[in-house]
Amino acid sequence: MSWYLGLDSSTQSISAVIVDVAAGRLVEDASVSFSELPEFKCPNGFLAGDDPLVRHADPLVWLAGLDRLLQGLVDRGIDLSKVVAVSGSGQQHGTVYLTAGFLKPRAWVWAGDLVGTVRPMLARPTAPIWMDSSTSEECREITAAAGGVAPVQKTTGSPAIERFSGPQIRRFWKRDPDGYRRTAVIHLVSSFMASVLAGRSAPIDLGDGAGMNLLNLGTGAWDPGMINATAPDLAARLPPVVPSHTEVGPIAEYFVRRYGFARGTRVVAWSGDNPNSLIGVGGYAPGTAVISLGTSHTYFAAMRRPTVDPAGYGHVFGNPAGGFMSLICFKNGALAQEEVRRRHQLSWKQFDDCLRRTPPGNAGNMMLPYFVAETTPLVLTPGVVFTGSETFRAGGDADAMVRAVVEAQAYRMRLHSSWIADRTDAVRVTGGASVSREVCQVLADVFNARLERLETENSAGLGAALRAAQATGAGEWQRLTDAFCRPVAGQSVSPLAANVEVYRRQLPAFEAFARQGRGGQSLPHA
């Protein structure tokens, strides 16, 4: 047998990827949307509320989704007894608060389903997730107590961030001290789900632990200073930190009896969705950067050393393959391209035609595409800024507008990733606009690197499956990457020397423009 299962508990769904390592093939890829579980009132992955800054989920929806997902696999004839090992991926930063009973596996009362089993052990009925932005005050308090922004960033890889776990824990302690006292252990989404699979409280892996503002990247352990700055007696409430390849234990008897897993199926520590995606797209080693062209654009890459972004926008997490990884998120991603397309009434083919007709550098026409508030750099008030010809600034040149938004996105990724010390030889792209050869050519030229397109639908789930295989001795990273993370044949894009030179000259001009243009202005014809 050589089947390995990767689970992904994401914001809006839970999914499963099964790979057959010996055959080098994907066995199954399935998912359950939380909209299929209306009783938990999380159709979009979070509970509705009056405060737009507060985003919590019912952690029980993840368990109900897992039961439904596994039952669906069995109903389709998937023999889960063939699975040798399982690992998983969880949406990063979210926290789950549990009572002392969760730490006593012999006392667990396995009910008819996972929801009934775990519900009595919840010390807090809801879990703040990565979408929550309600902890600005707590971020300031933690930063002050820890000695300032620079020490926090140097220690943990990021400044204190609203969505990160430490500020969320502090807010809970301040607002519900009785609930905090009832809490015996605080898990991440990833370690919580791993715990349920193994039937015992699981450790937190280094990859996901680094997204908490609590982990010391240098020591790989919880940092006493950050712990003390966050909440009292917090160290006693955190699981231990372990390398990502650590085995948690055999799968719980519940899954053997209900779904047919073999006794002794090995459970490997779960990690966060971003560290798992790094593995799932084949970016486990430094030298290959990954750009995801989704609703938001993300740039991530393996790092040898935990170099931090001096501007504070990039983050450093643990790399499940060893070492570290960078991650930078740009909110004005696909939605910015969509807005330009919509305002000029272009099809996606016409959007590509506009790129094809315009020269690299766009004759000096440049845009800052902040159609929504931006995180990198921090721009709280949306606004689109232009420089260039009068026709362009008046919004009448669709061709120039299309190239301006695409070049701006490439410039911004290049500039905001320049703090990463490792050289980039290849860039792998995935997600929406990666199907456009014209967009890929701009990226290849701006980064002066070979571009490789991927068609991975569920990189986090695939990464989890490959982690389960590697951790249990089924293959080394390069072999697994070659088998399951191959770029699409014949669709690599090489940089063009003349274009590279144009962008090399224009990049400083764009950087100066970006520094001056933060104020924003309305896009013409909005």
The tens digit of pLDDT for each residue in 117-149 reads 999 999 999 999 998 989 999 999 999 999 999
Q: What is the pLDDT of residue 171?
A: 98
What whole-number distance in Å separates Cα of residue 475 and Cα of residue 481? Answer: 10
User: Cα separations (Å) of 95 from 204, 248, 269?
Assistant: 12, 19, 16
Axis-axis angle for helices 334-343, 348-357 (nearest 10): 90
Which residue is associated with the tokens 């990247």?
217
Percent of the chain beyond pLDDT 90? 83
Q: Mean pLDDT of all residues in the chain?
A: 93
- Angle among Cα 52, 132, 238 to the nearest 5 degrees reads 150
Which residue is associated with the tokens 């990733």?
417
**Which phi and psi (to 5°) does residue 398 adopt?**
-65, -40
Three-class SS of residue 121? helix
Q: What is the pLDDT of residue 320?
A: 96
Judge whether residue 421 has pLDDT over 90: no
What whole-number distance in Å separates Cα of residue 72 and Cα of residue 31? Answer: 9
415: left (phi over 0), alpha (psi -120 to 50) or beta: alpha
Token duo for residue 444? 């290849």
What whole-number distance in Å separates Cα of residue 44 and Cα of residue 429? Answer: 26
Q: What distance lies between CA 314 and its chain's CA centroid?
A: 13
Burial of 423 (0-12, 13-18, 19+ CB in 10 A): exposed
Q: Which domains does the chain have, with CATH numbers?
A: 3-275 (3.30.420.40), 276-331+417-495 (3.30.420.40), 334-415+499-516 (3.30.420.40)
Burial of 494 (0-12, 13-18, 19+ CB in 10 A): exposed
Judge whether residue 406 has pLDDT over 90: yes
Strand blocks (E) in 234-356:
241-242, 247-250, 266-268, 271-272, 288-293, 297-303, 315-318, 324-330
Three-class SS of residue 108? coil
- In the structure, what pLDDT confidence band is assigned to residue 422 with cuts at 50, 70 and 90? confident
pLDDT tens-digit map of 478-489: 999 999 999 988
Closest to 87 in 3D by CA, of 473, 456, 463: 463
Instruction: Give the type of residue at 445.
Output: D
What whole-number distance in Å separates Cα of residue 372 and Cα of residue 309? Answer: 23
What whole-number distance in Å separates Cα of residue 2 and Cα of residue 483? Answer: 14
| Average pLDDT estimate for 216-236 | 97
What pairs with residue 19 in β-bridges?
Answer: 4, 26
Instruction: Give the type of residue at 471.
Output: A
pLDDT tens-digit map of 333-385: 988 999 999 999 999 999 999 999 999 999 999 999 998 888 888 887 888 99
Token duo for residue 10? 């994401």
What whole-number distance in Å separates Cα of residue 5 and Cα of residue 16? Answer: 7
Are the beta carbons of 372 and 333 closer than 8 angstroms?
A: no
Judge whether residue 233 has pLDDT over 90: yes
What whole-number distance in Å separates Cα of residue 44 and Cα of residue 46? Answer: 6
